[in-house]
Structure 1
């Protein structure tokens, strides 16, 4: 089976608005993107697009019109609160939060201050917040579930910024590019912190164009039109073949903290907050600490891009004063989702599969609980009905994965897909 993948070509550079332009050029819905931005920044900015050429190549230029006077500088803590409370689809929130967390961590390293205290100057301006939220919304709208990126042209020379004239690549870009392949690629600032943050936070690997069946191509333009070199970021979207080799895995981190002084009634809320902030899973392990104290080890599994933000959540939501982090490789079967109608509503079924064959079929418990509550029935009754209905519909181990199953998770109650 295959899933929709996007390869970001930053060989001529990348900025937040250039990536957003490329995704819109590839077919992302501008109105949906605007709605998501409005949910985070009400009545503050307006997007508009313009067809342009760069070195004779057609591309889309995104303009961000600021609708308010003297927009404030913001800290990462205030931005994270804005994202956490905005009414946007969870994947949009998760990706935008991961990008900002990665950027805040890099800026904190540059300036020698905690990430929460970073004041985003140019990066925190309304147009840059719009670029990051907009790119996250565009990825969600296009149904993209995995990303990779090329080596990055960062530029050369110097650039004037809020703190004075700085060498290119600017310090934040060099921090964000840790482990990434970069080259100068030309004069001037070709890659901005916002663009590099998206690559660092959301792309699983730096690679040449992978083998894939292309279905969409988008080009996003920068502001300048260089002679002899197209100032564009490209996005190639298509189906990348899923493999089942034991060598295939995804990077993951395990965040842990031993806690012996926390009111146990608060644990469910803390676990929910971690999952909402992008954790793949979160759980507790009972332990016995020094002096015979009963305690718990909080365990949080996540993609490395979400680690910084999740560490902040752990420190904010629990009484621990420290978090340890371990790198892992995660091997997981591909997943797909479909919904099934039962008496009283619809329930989402998660399908783990391999080589086109269902390995596991599991009803989403929140959907089952919602239907049970609406009917006034025990949850176990609705769960049994759902399992039976899924079995009758052929959603069971050993059966072929249905063609209508989506690699993008959606909500039955909201009707999103």
Structure 2
């Protein structure tokens, strides 16, 4: 990305020069001087490592929000691959308290594909609860679902990590955070954390609020979120106080405890490396997921109109099947976006792993800020020329 002097920092390998040009052009306009990073691995090699903007370098750690759902999905996929978790077993068989209010037949498969209907809590969750997956799970065990489980899908933005995490804890005696550290982060030396160590705090750069244009301000004013809507419940806007999305990653409690729905902290370089371990061989090791496991978790399990967001989308098992958003990617491409507009994925068909991270929230950053369209297209084109 360009900073105010128009400089892009970092390196690209031969053949990816066009990605550097696109990063400078796109991010200089879109990220509004908040700082951004772009990292790409190709067949296990770091081929793009770029950054720019106020106070951000390649080693800066950023709040990457729902990117942590990708780490959650990877841990669960490994447990399924090991035979520890059965996707078609009822959640309540591990977690009996969850059977309350008609949720007894919900399967882990349905939960992972955002079909449980348990998108939030009546009355909302407190900031302390939002930082603590066990507290969220305790509140939601007896919660009534907001639609009949299994009959539709809607983004479980702030709670799916706690719900899935409770299943993992009951089945294994370990948290997702601990399993991620043991099986993924530490072995691959990833600069992406579910639980940021205090000694790394000086590298953290706080999230910044979006700076909407007058037209964007008008759009927001004309399209408020109704306080009794499913969106308000899913994003905890009905709570007192309502959810502070920028303050979430800026809370030390969130960074330390790493609620799995959105508490991951890291660099684009670190998250791209995580996906490189899915996309193909990395450091001489076989991909983390076998082809049959990857096929299952990338398969579309929910599609159509999202009951929470009102938009058309698709979910696999924890992961988002990225080809539904970026048709230039292969059918088993999996990843997840983050609220500020970050995006990360693995595409085993091309050996690509991609991570774009930005510090300032994009306008309606949603499933990846708009600049990802051009950045991903440039990355795929460059890789395609190299073969």
Q: TM-score range by the shorter chain?
A: under 0.3
Greater helix proportion:
2
Larger RCO, structures 1/2 (Cα 8 Å, 6+ apart): 2
Structure of higher CA gyration radius: 1
Greater strand proportion:
1
TM-score scaled to structure 1, two decimals?
Answer: 0.21
